[in-house]
Structure 1
């Protein structure tokens, strides 16, 4: 059993951040459930030690690794390390805050590496086909936000992040995603602790319901 936990908060060391708090709860619950019968890899997307190549003209134009410069080869190897880690995971948990209605910028860079033709999807005469499936990979998306995006009429059309992640997953053959939200955290009329406790309860309950 291999579990990949992705943390995508720029302030990833600040435990007061809602996404980080939920990530801690999720990790503890996974550890208690697994009881050592599996591995959990935690990746902090914004950690300076986590090398995530940006897609540039250099990285976009594929060349034979044997012909690459040392700098280009480093990026190539880093990309395929991320891809291998993603593809080998049985369960993937993604924790992040909403940034300007979508995923944080560096997480977009991360997904640009994962979305590699011949690895997670392929092109055919009739269009692209995913190379992964719901049978081998289960994805849970935990999203925090200051406003309420699935109910507030001002923001419902800007609820882009869940749509984007679902679209990416569908592209690679994963058609089901569990979404857990802690939203309305910046609204003065809301009880923030109550919102967080509710999200924690949903997260713990969902993890414990999965058949590892």
Structure 2
């Protein structure tokens, strides 16, 4: 099963971070399930990710619509963006590793979404609304670490915008069949032992659902 692991942590190589430790736990279980396979790993903060701004995607999209000739730099940006989209569509299992930054995804993760949420590629517009095109058993799993706890049905629960945003983009907009989340939460208010207490069981169940046959 082709798996793309997207690490959205700015300090992706630092194993002191809980989200990166979540990634290691996932990779250990992945190797147990698929000893002869390797996931594709994309570290967003070690990769060129075009942004919607002047000189990058904004100019590229405007010139593509108008048919105007692009500069060499714009051609490069367009190619990088297209490569990200092609890579994304080639993997039916997407794993996102991320901390919660100000209640949402990291800035580079938002930039990445802007390169893959493309009309006529991953979704299309119709007279009755948009329709997802990623319907061939695509699934996504979010491995997220957060300083606070977001599952107590208190004031923090509706502030976990990362979860809502990614689920809506992948499932509602692009048509993914499944969205799972595994949280290492309360890292600022719990001991490490408490943070990890329920994670192994939750991760086992999420991975089972993630790779289960239809």
Instruction: Normalising by structure 2, report the TM-score.
Output: 0.88
Structure-2 separation of matches of 1:67 and 1:31: 47
What's 2:140 paired with?
A: 139
CA RMSD of aligned residues (A): 2.0
Aligned partners of 2:3 and 2:93 also within 8 Å: yes
How far apart are residue 23 of structure 1 and its match? 0.5
* Partner residue, 2:44: 45
- The Cα of 1:206 is off from its aligned counterpart by 3.0
Distance 2:29 2:77 in 1: 34
Structure 2 unaligned regions, length at least 5: none
Query: What are structure 1's unaligned runs of at least 5 residues?
Result: none
Structure 2 Cα separation of the partners of residues 204 and 157 of structure 1 = 26
Name 2:165's counterpart in structure 1. Answer: 164
Asked if the contact 2:147–2:188 (Cα under 8 Å) also holds between the matched residues in 1, the reply is yes
C-alpha deviation, 1:131, in angstroms: 0.6
The offset of 1:31, in angstroms, is 2.0
Give 2:127's aligned residue.
125
- Counterpart-to-counterpart distance in 1, 2:205 and 2:127: 43
1:84 maps to what in 2? 86
Tell me whether 1:7 sits opposite 2:4 in the alignment: no
Moved over 4 A (4+): none
Measure how far apart 1:143 and its partner are.
1.1
Q: Secondary structure at the match of 1:142?
A: strand
Judging changes above 3 Å, is the alpha-carbon distance between structure 1 residues 71 and 165 closer, same or farther for their aligned structure 2 residues? same
Comparing 11-20 with 166-175, which one deviates more in the overlay? 166-175
Task: Confirm or deny: 8 A CA contact 1:33 1:208 kept in the other structure.
Answer: no
Q: Normalization by structure 1: what TM-score? A: 0.89
Report the Cα offset of residue 125 of structure 1. 1.8
Q: 1:42 to 1:197 in 2, by over 3 A?
A: farther
1:127 CA displacement: 1.6
Map of 1:104-123 to 2, 5 A cutoff? 104-123=106-125
Change (3 A) 1:112 1:204: same
Structure 2: distance between partners of 1:62 and 1:85: 24
The correspondence of residues 44-63 of structure 1 with structure 2, limited to 5 A, is: 44-47=43-46, 50-56=47-53, 57-63=58-64
Distance 2:177 2:45 in 1: 27
Aligned length: 206
Q: Does structure 1 retain, via aligned residues, the 8 Å contact 2:63–2:69?
A: no
Is the 1:139–1:177 Cα contact (8 Å) retained in structure 2? yes
